[in-house]
Amino acid sequence: MTVALAMLLDAVLGEPKWLWDRLTHPAILMGRLIEALEKRLNSGKDRRAKGVALVALLMVGALILGAILSAFGPLVEIILAAILIAQRSLVDHVADVARALRLSVGDGRMMVARIVGRDVATLDRSGVARGAIESAAENLSDGVIAPVFWFVLLGLPGLLAYKAINTADSMIGYRTPRYEKFGWAAARLDDLVNWPAARLTAVLIALSHLRMDAWKIIWRDAGLHRSPNAGWPEAAMACVLGVALSGPRSYDGIVGDELFVNAEGRHDIGPDDIDAAVSALWRTWGLTLVFVVLLAVIA
């Protein structure tokens, strides 16, 4: 029942500014540690081996820290899990894009730039909406379902280890000259730990909308995405909303000719579709909460 209470606490409070203006968020602490280790290790020879060592150190440290913190009791576990589950903050950020886009495309671009990594300067109304919905789907998997999954499976140590891997991937898991070798282990391990949650998220999105008929399209289109995992929640979200997602987008001025997910869906989309995605986030969260409670009762 611990994770269910953590989900509820996160849904109610999210990430209160008054608290994080005074304290440092655990994810930021993880990021600072990774940054310091990267600066120290990512040079000279054997960069891939050094990257593996960094990930191993993070994993072991997170597991040990989680075990120590768990010994302080369920209240500490609930608070920490609530901090590391990102449902409310995800909903707030995605909803902000819809509100901004209703003002103007320019306002929408500025707001969506907070949650996507692509170039936003040339995005039209549909491009802004598509970016927000894709971010909603991907982060539902990475920021909500995966943390819940690993907490249910391995408790607080599992959740902390997952967040450490996910944070490392977001910082060093890039195919650039600086990180291609050093960040290899972080990127591959992140793909691995997100594999079950991505597929589970797709199932939960479809189930929460009573749309298991969407599985044919999900199965068909999930592999079209450049990520081995992100295509699953994106395809599910595209199906239940009836929109086309993914497709060509620009990174660092280079346009990638990516295929659309659910290409037969609507391409002309806007803030109302972002609102529908926010509703889908809550419906999926609610169904997840039901399953978590049922597991707790059975256990």
Closest alpha carbon to 229 in 151, 294, 150, 137? 137
Which residue, chain included where needed, has tokens 């797709």?
Answer: 202
Neighbours of 247 (CB within 10 A): 18
Q: Identify the pLDDT of residue 254.
A: 67
Q: Identify the pLDDT of residue 67.
A: 96
Domain that holds residue 109: 2-298
292 token code pair = 């978590």
Total tally of structural domains belonging to the chain? 1
Burial letters 106-131, b for 16+ CB under 10 A, else e: ebbbebbbebbebbbeebebbbbbbb
Q: Are 74 and 153 in contact (CB under 8 A)?
A: no
Pairing of strands 254-256, 249-251: antiparallel
Terminal C-alpha separation, the chain: 10
Q: What is the pTM of this model?
A: 0.93
Q: Identify the pLDDT of residue 203.
A: 96
Q: Identify the pLDDT of residue 179.
A: 85
Q: Are 241 and 228 in contact (CB under 8 A)?
A: no
Please name every residue paired with 249 in a beta bridge, in sequence order, or none if there are none.
256
Mind listing the pLDDT tens digit of every residue in the chain (299 residues)?
899 999 999 999 888 877 777 878 888 889 999 999 989 888 888 889 999 999 999 999 999 999 999 999 999 999 999 999 999 999 999 999 999 999 999 999 999 999 887 878 888 999 999 999 999 999 999 999 999 999 999 999 999 999 999 999 999 988 888 888 999 999 999 999 999 999 999 999 999 999 988 889 999 999 888 888 999 999 999 999 999 998 877 676 666 678 889 999 999 999 999 999 999 999 999 999 999 999 988 87
Q: How far, in Å, CA of 215 to CA of 262, rounded? A: 11
